[in-house]
A = this chain, B = another copy of it.
Amino acid sequence: MDEHLSLKLDKVIHQKARLGIMSILSVKEEAEFNYLKTQMKLTDGNLSTHLSHLENSHYIRIKKIFVRKKPKTVCRLTEKGRKAFMEYIKNLEQIIGSVPQV
C-alpha cells in the first residue's frame, strides 16, 4: 500500500515558523532579521534557531551587512532552498487536490 502524501513533506520546511520564513523569502529576494521577527512574531532566540536550522540544511544564506554603520542580518534562499520549497509546495498541492472541496 502506498504511504500517504503527507509523509513526503520536507520536515525542515513543514514547521509553521519555517514555512512562513521560506514563503517570505520565496517572494522577496532577501529579508532582514527584524522584518522576519515581526512577521513571524518570534523572539530573537527562536528566530535565530529556525534560521540556523534552515542554514544548516543549506536552504538559506545568512549575511551580516552594515547599513549606515549599523549591522544588519539579511537572509535569502539558496538555489537548493528554492527547489526544496517548490517541491514542498507541489506536495502540499497534491494533498489539497486529494481533499473533497466544500
> Is A99's CB under 8 angstroms from B95's CB?
no
- Segment 1-52 of A: residues with Cβ below 8 Å from B: 1-7, 9, 11, 14, 16-17, 19-20, 23-24, 26-27, 38-41
Chain B residues, CB < 8 A from A71? none
Seen from chain A, the residues whose Cβ lies within 8 Å of a Cβ on chain B are 1-7, 9, 11, 14, 16-17, 19-20, 23-24, 26-27, 38-41, 85-86, 89, 92-93, 95-96, 98-100, 102
Q: A89-B96, A93-B96 are in contact. Are A6 and B20 (CB under 8 A)?
A: yes
Q: Which residues of B contact A9 (CB under 8 A)?
A: 16, 19
- Count identical subunits in the complex: 2
Chain B residues positioned under 8 Å from A98 (CB to CB): 23, 27
Contact in complex: A95, B19 (CB < 8 Å): yes
Contact B20 A4 (CB under 8 A): yes
Contact assessment for A4 and B23 in the assembled complex, using a CB-CB cutoff below 8 Å: yes
Question: Does the CB pair A6–B16 fall under 8 Å?
Answer: yes
